[in-house]
Amino acid sequence: MGGTYPSRHHDTGRWLVQYTGRVLVVCPGCGGRALVTPRPDLPAPPYFSELLFLPRRLTCAGCGAIAHWTADPRGRALVAAQPGGTEDPFFRRPLWLQTRCLGRVLWACNEEHLEALAAYVGAALRERGPARPTMAMFARLPRWMKESGHRAEVLAGLDRLRDLARRSAPADRSDAAHERGDRPRHYGALYFRGGPYEDGV
């Protein structure tokens, strides 16, 4: 079980993209757990928004599958990936951390994202920060996750995701983790960096 949670939660305005540095997905090869990360030879980005443009690598420790993703070019700019929904924003693979909850699907990108959701859902008092950015993750959560009457069910669902995070075999895959095409609206944000990422740059 996830244990107890602080009675008060203060929203610092973090965006969903800040949880995409490490994304657990269903492997396209074996159906087990794979990992999507920025290309390891690149330096850490100075701004979290750059996580939407960094070249990505998918790796599976189970079957050895490897895949690569780069942002689509548009002139001298790169087009951002769009996080949200039950697929990872880069390879469009189903997220590994998915479970059915209250007739919907509860999902998380990784363990850090899961624990952030649990801290918010488990708090009896939820405080907004001094500003409410339109892209702040908690402000954009669906209503069913925020309702106090659903707290126990959502926390139980997050406990199931914790258990999934410790598993990696194809047989451990959640029956909710499959393609459903619920991609978010794509805003086509651009990054004018003067060209694609080169090795180590």
How does pLDDT run across 16-32, given as a tens digit for each residue? Answer: 999 999 999 999 999 99
> What is the structure's pLDDT at 191?
82
Q: What are phi and psi of 86, to 5 degrees?
A: -95, 10
> What is the structure's pLDDT at 188?
66
> What is the structure's pLDDT at 167?
98
> What is the structure's pLDDT at 186?
61
Task: Identify whether the C-beta of residue 44 lies closer than 8 Å to the C-beta of residue 8.
Answer: no
> What is the structure's pLDDT at 2?
55
What residue ranges do the domains of the chain occupy?
A: 8-176
Which residues of the chain are under the pLDDT cut of 70?
1-3, 129-134, 183-188, 194-196, 199-201
Please state, in angstroms and rounded to a whole number, the distance separating the CA atoms of residues 119 and 3: 11
Residues 6 or more apart from 185 whose CB is under 8 A from it? 82
Task: Identify whether the C-beta of residue 29 lies closer than 8 Å to the C-beta of residue 40.
Answer: no
> What is the structure's pLDDT at 107?
98
